[in-house]
Structure 1
Amino acid sequence: METRSNHVLVGAVVLILLALLALFTVWIARLGGADEKEYDIFFRQSVEGLARGSAVTFAGVPIGQVEEIALWRPDPQYVRVRVRVNDETPILQGTTASISGVGFTGVSQITLDGARRGAPPIVCPEENPQRVCPYGVPVIPTRPGGVAAILNSAPQLLERLSTLTDRLTGLLTDRNQASVAGILENTDRLTDALADRGPEIAETLAQTRLAVRQAGDAAQQVGELADTADRVLANDVQPTIANLNRTINSAQRSADALGEAIGDARPGLQAFSKQTIPEVGLLVRDLRRTSEAFAQIAERVEQGGAGSLVGQQKLPDYKGK
Structure 2
Amino acid sequence: MENKSHALAAGAFVVALLALLTALAMWLTRDTTEQRMFEISSAEGVTGLQPQAAVRYKGVLVGRVTDIALDPLQRGNVLLRIAVNEAAPITRTTYASLGFQGVTGLAFVQLDDKDEGSPALVAEGDAAPRIPMRASMVSRLSEQGGNLLTQLEQASIRMNGLLANDNQKQLMGAISNLSDAAANISALTKRADQVLGADGNPVAMNLPHMVAQADATLKSIQITTERLGASADAVRNSATEFQRTSKRMSDPGGTLDKIGQSTDALATTSRQIQIQLLPRLQRTVEDTGRTARQVGRAVESLNDNPQSVLFGRTTGLPGPGEPGFVAPAPATAP
Q: State the TM-score, normalizing by the size of structure 1.
A: 0.42
Name the one with the larger helix percent.
1
Larger RCO (CA under 8 A, 6+ residues apart) = 2
Q: Work out which of the two has the higher radius of gyration on C-alpha atoms and give 1 or 2.
A: 1
Q: State the TM-score, normalizing by the size of structure 2.
A: 0.41
